Amino acid sequence: MKVPRTQRQKEVFDYLVRFLERRGYIPSYTQIAKHLGVKSRATVAKHIKALERLGLITIHGRDGSFALVINQEELPLSEMLCEIPLVGMIAAGQPIEVVPDSETIPVPRFMLARVRPEKVYAVRVRGDSMIDEHICDGDIALIEDRPEARDGEIVVALIDETHATLKRLYRHGAEVELRPSNSQLESIRVPAGSVRIQGIFRGLLRPTS
């Protein structure tokens, strides 16, 4: 299994993996620089390029965006991937239902952190309401099947048993605010009794094609 060759490369790579586990997407160069205690994005770019040469990450596009690729050739299959049900899109009029015959997709186990695979399902994201969280149209969101959430968590919320949406949740007395991460969109505020939480966002997969 390929590993970073220097301590600094290992520090960068470990930070990328931990960040992805917690938030479901890759940190920006600015965030990596802050973690390293450096001011130069060029320094960050140098380490990212070194990790790319080792085959640990893949860089996409001219803007320097990149995706994390874990080289797992020498790991047992049971430690590499797990199968997660893919239950469709988050769409109006379509409650999220996990059924036994759902299509499944392979997911790297490290992305689930401490959540058991049987407690996770996946949905395709439609729209750009969470774009500022780097959750884009066509992405696959990994959702922990849990009916409770803390304020500020990204949730799959079912409104009036008909409209499923992916938003940040905040409680305001008898109302619930479902807040998008897109400056062009406004929050949804509805009576708390009309909202049922269908899961908590735990990670993100971005199809390559």
CA dihedral 88, 104, 78, 154 (to 10 degrees): 10
Q: Is 167 a catalytic residue?
A: yes
* Cα dist from 117 to 89, 165, 180, 207, whole Å: 20, 22, 27, 20
| Torsion angle of the four alpha carbons 1, 64, 180, 20, in this order, in degrees rounded to the nearest 10 | 20
Q: Which of 46, 65, 167, 209 is catalytic?
A: 167
- Catalytically annotated residue among 28, 129, 183, 187: 129
SS3 letters across 72-130: CCCCCHHHHEEEEEEEEECEECECCCCCCCCEEEEEEHHHHCCCCHHHEEEEECCCCCC
Cα gap 201→75, rounded to integer Å: 27
Alpha helices in the chain (DSSP H): 7-23, 29-36, 41-53, 77-80
Distance CA 178, CA 91 (A): 15
> Two tokens at 207?
């199809």
Q: Known catalytic residues?
A: 129, 167
